């Protein structure tokens, strides 16, 4: 079988229409899908990485970094919306690539998405741990550093050093808890997520509203700090710092991509998917920009507190003793809210595993559905296991960089897939169409590649190593067990 054999869209749509105990349950409407996306987007990016990126990479110009990342995501989101309306099947970018670019490219994207979701969940869990330990401290319970911090630290993977800690147990515990909620069922998970997201949005709006009354415009000067050299050949601040920050924080926007993994559990996906994807992106971009203005306006970007795992706590503390209640509210809101982000990310990865197992590229147990809950329990457990290890061992900044390169590559391929289908199969029904696709899709590809180029050089070394492992697994296992290979062999006979 050719490694570039494409999965017919008619076959994908037939799979989407299947019903029964072996399939996923359709229980998500527009509200649940949108809150799933918002829950993933408004997470570590706004509660954790905003401070880290401002302090270490871009200064007040982190606002520009978020606008750049949001613009790139808009191109990709439009392409996702078109493909989701055409192919309402679990698997997201993996499934879309299988239909447009072929099996090998689908595997490459899926391998990239593993980095995206597993490391993103780990990043958010590290941020959750920071807020949780702070909350416990406020309540008079001190969690020892050796059990609440990463055993390794450093600005680059080559500069990692031991911290003296053993494991970040709170980060691992929250991943285990959210995995349990996911296995309970999609309806229960969606209800939990919706409530948590509303709490989280309320906290974000409170911080923005009160924060603007405490902004000191002098803290925005210089808006773009002078460029300086960082560790291991990296560059901080200036235009390179803005681009670097945009690449690092890009993963904060992947929530809209999580929505597309839910296509097979959505009601009326042809209509609800595009609305939810674009709606979540717009809401979250506005909130990110406003929060960045508050963070860098209330506290100078050089404040070391912004580089800690809970920078919003530092910002609220700087607003003065009159808002002591808000500090506690933010800590509780972030602690609760980050859980919904972890839930959404684990959800996305488990559904991609489900799609790969269904296609034979992973062992069949990955598409095994719980007989009563109708959730892919094994894929969820595997996702939680690896994400938990990442969260327990590594610091937040390095995890964010690993996520971004995989996400950007996947987005570029999605934009290419839209171009391919418009040229090769223009007659296919599309409930949503990318406006001016001949401009939007190429811009999506170019902007993704531009952000990739702005990431540190050691990121590409890790990417090459990760892809080499992925290709070894593909040629050693996946290609021989592919159901497309089996179906073609049967047809030939």
pLDDT beyond 60 at 264? yes
Which range, 59-68, 307-316, 390-399, 423-432, has the best average confidence (pLDDT)?
59-68
Q: Which CATH number is 27-492 given?
A: 1.20.1740.10
Question: According to the model, what pLDDT value does residue 419 have?
Answer: 92
Question: According to the model, what pLDDT value does residue 491 have?
Answer: 46
Would you say 434 and 133 are in contact if contact means Cβ atoms under 8 Å apart?
Answer: no
What residues contact residue 209 under an 8 Å CB cut-off, 6+ apart? Answer: none
Question: According to the model, what pLDDT value does residue 485 have?
Answer: 66
Task: Check residue 233 and give left, alpha or beta (phi > 0: left; psi -120 to 50: alpha).
Answer: left
State the DSSP code for 144.
Answer: P
Question: According to the model, what pLDDT value does residue 324 have?
Answer: 79
How distant, in Å, are the alpha carbons of 150, 155, 247, 456 from that of 459?
Answer: 20, 12, 11, 6
What residues contact residue 61 under an 8 Å CB cut-off, 6+ apart? Answer: 223, 224, 225, 237, 241, 242, 245
What residues contact residue 175 under an 8 Å CB cut-off, 6+ apart? Answer: 121, 122, 125, 342, 346, 384, 387, 388, 391
Report how far residue 157's alpha carbon sits from residue 210's, in angstroms, rounded to the nearest whole number. Answer: 38
The pTM is what? Answer: 0.77
Interhelix angle 169-184/377-393, nearest 10 degrees: 170
Cis ω before 222 (30° cut-off from 0): yes
Report how far residue 299's alpha carbon sits from residue 332's, in angstroms, rounded to the nearest whole number. Answer: 21
Q: How far apart are the first and last CA of the chain?
A: 14
How distant, in Å, are the alpha carbons of 53, 213, 238, 301 from that of 60?
Answer: 10, 18, 11, 7
Neighbours of 489 (CB within 10 A): 10
Closest to 421 (Cα-Cα) out of 7, 1, 2, 3: 7
How distant, in Å, are the alpha carbons of 132, 156, 246, 377 from that of 54?
Answer: 22, 17, 11, 39
Report how far residue 369's alpha carbon sits from residue 384's, in angstroms, rounded to the nearest whole number. Answer: 17
pLDDT beyond 60 at 259? yes
* Minimum mean pLDDT range among 39-43, 280-284, 304-308: 39-43
pLDDT beyond 90 at 238? no
On the CB side of 65, CA atoms within 13 Å amount to 36
Using 50, 70 and 90 to split pLDDT, how confident is the model at 459?
confident
Distance of CA 409 to the CA centre of its chain: 13
Mean predicted confidence (pLDDT) in 125-133: 83
Question: According to the model, what pLDDT value does residue 432 have?
Answer: 87
- In the chain, domain spans: 27-492
pLDDT beyond 80 at 402? no
- The length of the chain is 493
What residues contact residue 256 under an 8 Å CB cut-off, 6+ apart? Answer: 37, 41, 73, 77, 80, 277, 278, 280, 281
Interhelix angle 377-393/103-138, nearest 10 degrees: 60
Q: How buried is 177 (Cβ within 10 angstroms: 0-12 exposed, 13-18 middle, 19+ buried)?
A: middle
For residue 236, which phi and psi values (nearest 5 degrees)? -110, 150
pLDDT beyond 90 at 474? yes
Mean predicted confidence (pLDDT) in 480-492: 65
For residue 246, which phi and psi values (nearest 5 degrees)? -60, -40
pLDDT, one tens digit per residue, over 239-248 is 888 888 887 7
Would you say 129 and 176 are in contact if contact means Cβ atoms under 8 Å apart?
Answer: no
Task: With H, G, I as helix, E, B as strand and everything else as coil, classify residue 367.
Answer: helix
Beta bridge partners of 148: 168
pLDDT beyond 80 at 304? yes
């Amino acid at each position: 079988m050719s490694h570039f054999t494409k999965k017919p869209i008619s076959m994908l749509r037939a799979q989407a229409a299947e019903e029964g105990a072996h399939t996923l349950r359709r229980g998500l409407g527009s509200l649940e899908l949108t809150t799933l996306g918002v829950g993933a987007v408004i997470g570590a990016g706004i509660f954790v990485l905003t401070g880290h990126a401002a302090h270490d990479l871009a200064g007040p110009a982190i606002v520009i970094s978020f606008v750049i990342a949001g613009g790139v995501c808009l191109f990709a989101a439009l392409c996702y919306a078109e493909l989701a309306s055409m192919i309402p099947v679990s698997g997201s970018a993996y499934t879309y690539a299988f239909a447009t670019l072929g099996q090998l490219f689908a595997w490459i994207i899926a391998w990239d998405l593993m980095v995206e979701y597993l490391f993103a969940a780990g990043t958010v869990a590290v941020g959750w741990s920071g807020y949780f330990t702070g909350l416990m401290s406020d309540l008079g319970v001190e969690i020892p550093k050796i059990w609440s911090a990463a055993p390794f630290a450093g600005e680059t993977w080559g500069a990692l050093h031991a911290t003296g800690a053993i494991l970040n147990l709170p980060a691992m515990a929250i991943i285990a808890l959210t995995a349990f909620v996911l296995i309970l069922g999609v309806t229960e998970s969606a209800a939990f997520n919706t409530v948590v997201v509303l709490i989280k949005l309320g906290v974000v709006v409170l911080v923005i509203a009160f924060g603007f009354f405490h902004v000191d415009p002098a803290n925005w000067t210089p808006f773009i700090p002078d460029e300086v050299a960082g560790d291991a050949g990296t560059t901080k601040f200036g235009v390179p710092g803005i681009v670097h920050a945009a690449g690092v924080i890009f993963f904060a926007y992947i929530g809209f991509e999580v929505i597309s993994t839910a296509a097979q559990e959505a009601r009326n996906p042809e209509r609800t998917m595009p609305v939810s994807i674009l709606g979540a992106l717009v809401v979250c971009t506005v909130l990110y920009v406003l929060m960045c203005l508050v963070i860098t306006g209330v506290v100078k970007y050089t404040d070391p507190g912004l580089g800690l795992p809970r920078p919003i706590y530092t910002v609220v503390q700087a607003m003065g003793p009159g808002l002591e209640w808000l500090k506690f509210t933010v800590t509780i809101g972030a602690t609760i809210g980050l859980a919904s982000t972890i839930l959404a990310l684990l959800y996305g990865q488990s559904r991609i595993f489900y799609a790969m197992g269904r296609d034979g590229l992973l062992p069949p147990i990955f598409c095994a559905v719980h007989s009563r809950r109708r959730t892919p329990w094994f894929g969820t457990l595997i996702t939680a296991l690896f994400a938990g290890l990442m969260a327990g061992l590594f610091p937040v900044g390095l995890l964010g960089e690993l996520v971004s390169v995989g996400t950007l590559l996947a987005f570029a391929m999605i934009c290419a897939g839209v171009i391919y289908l418009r040229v090769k199969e223009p007659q296919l029904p599309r409930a949503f169409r990318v406006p001016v696709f001949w401009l939007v899709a190429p811009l999506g590809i170019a902007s993704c590649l531009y952000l990739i180029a702005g990431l540190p050089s050691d990121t590409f070394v890790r990417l090459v190593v990760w892809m080499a492992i992925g290709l070894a697994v593909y040629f050693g296992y996946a290609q021989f067990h592919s159901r497309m290979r089996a179906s073609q062999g049967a047809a030939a006979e």
